[in-house]
């Protein structure tokens, strides 16, 4: 993998607007940029810090959506009742789901710290085929081979997101030692083609350009990404559409479909529902309150789409 791929694919996670919770992200250390998209954390906000909105801009509650993005995550969840951390690994999700709004809880409540691996990044660390984890969340010790005891001890001593970022940087950096190989270079090239073409290139053309068979390409995607090259390309194209909605570049659903290579607007809406769980019109209404920090900082115009 290569950090130069990151600017070409910046998937959007819709993190909701819940008065009881926060969500933050941070980039990893330079040595990990090729493999880790970001660190993130979600948790509870103390009552004294909650923002109820203003008369001019009242608070609007919208759900958090977990969207397929080709990434996998290491999750560290703190239980304030038992005073312990639990560790898990999540593979690719192939379907979206809505996260229920949290209950009103105290400042010492549960939080989750995550490592979001860029597509292909996690394979460098655990070396297991990513297809084994697709649509699954499993205990981290079942798939992570390296020095978990030390990580658990250091993470238990942290008191804030910044400290957890430092611990994870120092833990992961010595592990990312895989040298360039034919396979990693090939996957870098294929991902570059998918990103540059916005997910519109066919699997047969991707294979032809890398001078490999489609069967080989499917096998390598199963190992490195966890989903088929066709499904991954669909995910990339979906995020391009979502970014267009966020940026406000078009107010015409037909034009949006043409820009991103769909047959027509109906085709766009069907594909969008598959990965968002609702229509582009709903996404346009929700996007102001539901954007991840690192990828989506610019202001956007409202978008009008026919549902």
Residue 98 or residue 8, greater confidence: 8
Instruction: Give 101's pLDDT tier (boundaries 50, 70, 90).
Output: low
What is the chain's mean pLDDT, rounded? Answer: 82
- Model pLDDT, residue 232: 96
Confidence at residue 47, expressed as pLDDT on a 0 to 100 scale: 57
Crossing angle of the two packed helices 161-172 and 148-156, in degrees rounded to 10: 160
Neighbour count for residue 206 (Cβ, 10 Å):
22
What are the residue boundaries of the structural domains of the chain, listed by start?
A: 3-175, 182-289
Predicted TM-score (pTM) of this structure: 0.84
275 close to 234: Cβ distance less than 8 angstroms: yes
User: Does the domain made of 182-289 have the CATH classification 3.30.1600.10?
Assistant: no
d(CA 72, CA 60): 30
pLDDT greater than 50 at residue 78: yes
| CA–CA separation, 10 and 246 (whole Å) | 12
Output the pLDDT for position 195.
95
Alpha carbon of 148 to those of 133, 145, 152, 281: distances in Å? Answer: 19, 8, 6, 44
- For the residues 267-275, what does the mean pLDDT come to? 92
Give the integer Cα–Cα distance in Å for 140 and 288: 34
Q: Count CB-CB contacts under 10 A for residue 126.
A: 19
Please report the pLDDT score of residue 307 as a whole number: 37
Distance CA 270, CA 277 (A): 10
Q: Minimal CA–CA distance to 166: which of 111, 91, 113?
A: 113
Cα 143–Cα 145–Cα 150 angle in degrees, nearest 5: 120
The pLDDT of residue 86 is 93
User: What is the SS3 assignment for the chain?
Assistant: CCHHHHHHCCCCCECCECCCEEEEEECCCHHHCCCEEEEEEEEECCHHHCCCECCCCECCCECEEECCCCCEEEEEEEECCCCEEEEEEECCCCCCEEECCCCCCCCCCCEEEEEEECCCCHHHHHCCCHHHHCCCEEEHHHCCCCCHHHHHHHHHCCCCHHHHHHHHHHHHHHHCCCCCCHHHHHHHHHHHHHHHCCCCCCHHHHHHHCCCCHHHHHHHHHHHCCCCHHHHHHHHHHHHHHHHHHHCCCCCHHHHHHHCCCCCHHHHHHHHHHHHCCCHHHHHHHHHHCCCCCCCCCCCCCCCCCC
CA 229 to chain centre: 17
Report d(CA 171, CA 120) in Å as an integer: 19
First vs last C-alpha separation in the chain: 38
Instruction: Choose the weakest-confidence range: 185-189, 264-268, 291-295.
Output: 291-295
């Amino acid at each position: 993998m290569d950090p130069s791929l990151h600017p070409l694919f910046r998937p959007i996670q819709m993190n909701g607007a819940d008065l009881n919770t926060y969500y933050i992200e941070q980039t990893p250390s330079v040595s990990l940029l090729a493999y880790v998209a970001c660190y993130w954390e979600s948790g509870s906000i103390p009552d004294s810090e909650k923002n109820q909105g203003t008369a001019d801009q009242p608070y609007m509650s919208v759900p958090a959506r977990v969207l397929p993005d080709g990434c996998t995550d290491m999750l560290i969840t703190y239980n304030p009742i038992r005073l312990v951390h639990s560790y898990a690994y999540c593979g690719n999700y192939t379907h979206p789901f809505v996260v229920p709004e949290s209950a009103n809880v105290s400042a010492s409540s549960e939080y989750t710290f995550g490592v979001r691996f860029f597509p292909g990044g996690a394979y460098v660390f655990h070396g297991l085929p990513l297809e084994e984890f697709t649509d699954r969340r499993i205990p981290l010790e079942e798939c992570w081979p390296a020095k978990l005891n030390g990580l658990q001890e250091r993470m238990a001593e942290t008191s804030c997101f910044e400290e957890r970022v430092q611990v994870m940087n120092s833990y992961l950096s010595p592990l990312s030692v895989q040298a360039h190989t034919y396979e990693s270079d090939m996957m870098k090239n294929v991902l570059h083609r998918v990103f540059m073409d916005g997910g519109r290139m066919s699997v047969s053309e991707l294979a032809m350009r890398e001078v490999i068979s489609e069967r080989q390409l499917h096998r390598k995607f199963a190992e490195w990404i966890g989903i088929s090259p066709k499904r991954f390309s669909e995910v990339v194209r979906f995020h391009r559409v979502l970014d267009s909605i966020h940026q406000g570049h078009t107010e015409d659903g037909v034009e949006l479909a043409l820009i991103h290579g769909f047959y027509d607007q109906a085709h766009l809406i069907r594909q969008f529902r598959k990965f968002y769980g609702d229509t582009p019109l709903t996404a346009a209404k929700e996007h102001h309150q539901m954007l991840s920090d690192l990828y989506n900082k610019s202001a956007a115009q409202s978008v009008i789409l026919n549902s």
